[in-house]
């Protein structure tokens, strides 16, 4: 009769149901997160989206005024669309790589059209708006007054431009909606031609749920409706220009400062080695929590020697102890107790019948071959010590 060792389906399920349940929970959680993220993030600043944070409302209002809106998702398409009769809106400039920003700035610098940058930060203002610096601290106020001579801002009045604040070195720039002496709407005329660049500190005036607040709608329509065509550039991860085709070595891929970081780790390792390797000074006697009898210590060490078959060490310890006790009995200094030339003649003079050769074999001989020989060596050492004490 043979018994099969293969697991049944029930046994396999019993053993792996915990793992299966964990996988199902992970999948459910991933789907839930994807749904939530898609519901909250879908259509941000997208002129085709009717979501609260979309921008379909402003696109519809512009269409009523004869302004056409076209959405592009690549830098190449945005560069080709730039022209004197076009307003190019860059929704999230900070998503662009430095290479993309440089290419876009080169195309728009002499196009004669208008470029609108929505909430550009330090990552992008240096290339898309030379001479402009962005404050790392955003303003806490959302609604601000124009306080400038720009006609679009004066007609719109108060608007929700509060966000990133900008400062420029250009003398002919329009600095509007200031907060703590920094503009949240900045217009830079082109160095040549009729074009200009507008920086918005916040995207609120373009959002569906904020368009009817304050002068947001008026300001948005005037800024985006100055040309008959509006190109709405939404940066996309699928844009092939975002990737650098140049070959890079492993050291190029490492972040900047890795060499100094490695050097600091090396110095820390050396210091730690010196710290761990330092001397702790002389030994300090310490009172034991429990007093152990010497006989128990001796028996414990003997058991360890026996377990390890260390008859050589056991015999060496027995002979060393015997020589230490015999030396003062025959008048040999303790420093010479383990020297055969000093100890053996003194013992022979004390015990003339023992013979110096026999004493040398007993006190300085080879290790015993077995446990019986070790026991015999112990008995002979005890007998020698008793004989010396009686003589």
Q: What is the pLDDT of residues 107-125, one digit of tens each?
A: 998 889 999 999 999 999 9
pLDDT digits (tens, 9 = 90+) for 157-207: 999 999 999 999 888 999 999 998 899 999 999 887 789 999 999 999 999
- The residue with greater pLDDT, 124 or 356, is 124
The total of other beta-carbon atoms located within 10 Å of residue 273's CB is: 10
The total of other beta-carbon atoms located within 10 Å of residue 164's CB is: 24
Residue 171 has φ and ψ, to the nearest 5°, of -75, -30
Strand segments, DSSP code E, in the chain are 68-72, 86-90, 114-118, 132-134, 166-168, 174-179, 182-189, 196-200, 229-233
Taking residues 359-387, report their average pLDDT: 89
Q: Tokens standing for 351?
A: 């015990």
Contact assessment for residue 343 and residue 363, using Cβ atoms and an 8 Å cutoff: yes
Q: Residue 41: in which H helix or E strand, if any?
A: helix 9-41
In the block, tokens 């040999």 appear at 332
Model pLDDT, residue 245? 47
Residues 201, 167: Cα–Cα separation, whole Å? 11
Taking residues 45-66, report their average pLDDT: 94
Taking residues 139-153, report their average pLDDT: 92
* Residue (of 162, 95, 97, 169) closest to 129 by Cα position: 169
Alpha carbon distances (Å) from 334 to 251, 341, 360, 388: 67, 14, 18, 17
* HSE value, Cβ hemisphere, 13 Å, CA-based, for 163: 16
Confidence of residue 246 (pLDDT cuts 50, 70, 90): very low
Please give the torsion angle defined by the CA atoms of residues 322, 326, 328 and 333, in that order, rounded to the nearest 10 degrees: -70
Instruction: State the Cα angle at 236 between 75 and 113, rounded to 5°.
Output: 35
Q: To 10 degrees, what angle do helices 356-364 and 340-350 make?
A: 130
- State whether CATH 3.40.50 applies to domain 55-233: yes
Least confident of 109-113, 221-225, 356-360: 356-360
Residue 259 has φ and ψ, to the nearest 5°, of -65, -45
Beta bridge partners of 88: 115, 231
% of the chain beyond a pLDDT of 90: 43
Residues 242, 240: Cα–Cα separation, whole Å? 5
* Residue (of 138, 191, 195, 126) closest to 165 by Cα position: 138
pTM here is 0.55
- Where do the domains of the chain lie? 55-233, 295-390
């Amino acid at each position: 009769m043979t018994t099969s060792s293969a697991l049944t389906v029930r046994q396999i399920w019993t053993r792996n149901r915990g793992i299966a349940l964990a996988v199902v929970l992970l999948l459910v959680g991933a789907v839930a997160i994807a749904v939530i993220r898609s519901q909250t993030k879908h259509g941000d600043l997208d002129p085709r989206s009717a979501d609260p944070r979309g921008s379909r409302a402003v696109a519809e209002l512009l269409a009523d005024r004869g302004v056409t809106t076209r959405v592009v998702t690549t830098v190449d398409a945005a560069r080709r669309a730039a022209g004197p009769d076009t307003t190019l809106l860059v929704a999230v400039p900070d998503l662009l790589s430095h290479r993309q920003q440089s290419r876009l700035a080169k195309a728009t610098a002499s196009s004669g059209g208008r470029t609108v940058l929505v909430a550009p930060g330090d990552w992008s203002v240096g290339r898309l708006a030379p001479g402009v610096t962005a404050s790392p601290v955003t303003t806490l106020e959302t609604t601000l007054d124009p306080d400038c001579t720009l006609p679009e801002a004066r007609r719109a009045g108060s608007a929700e431009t509060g966000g990133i604040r900008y400062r420029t070195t250009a003398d002919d720039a329009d600095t509007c909606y200031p907060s703590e002496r920094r503009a949240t709407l900045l217009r830079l005329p082109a160095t040549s031609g009729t074009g200009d660049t507008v920086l918005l500190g916040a995207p609120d005036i373009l959002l569906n749920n904020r368009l009817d607040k304050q002068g947001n709608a008026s300001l948005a329509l005037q800024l985006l409706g100055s040309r008959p065509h509006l190109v709405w550039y939404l940066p996309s991860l699928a844009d092939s220009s975002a990737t650098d085709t140049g070959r890079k070595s492993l050291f190029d891929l490492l972040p900047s400062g890795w060499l100094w970081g490695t050097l600091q780790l090396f110095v820390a390792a050396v210091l730690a080695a010196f710290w761990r390797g330092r001397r702790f000074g002389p030994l300090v006697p310490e009172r034991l929590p429990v007093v152990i009898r010497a006989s128990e210590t001796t028996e414990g060490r003997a058991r360890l020697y026996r377990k390890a078959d260390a008859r050589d060490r056991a015999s060496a310890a027995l002979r060393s102890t015997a020589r230490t006790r015999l030396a003062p009995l025959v008048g040999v200094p303790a420093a010479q107790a383990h020297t055969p030339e000093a100890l053996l003649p003194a013992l022979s003079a004390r015990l003339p019948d023992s013979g110096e050769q026999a004493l040398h074999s007993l006190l300085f001989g080879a290790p015993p071959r077995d446990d019986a020989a070790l026991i015999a060596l112990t008995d002979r050492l005890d007998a020698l010590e008793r004989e010396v004490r009686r003589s």
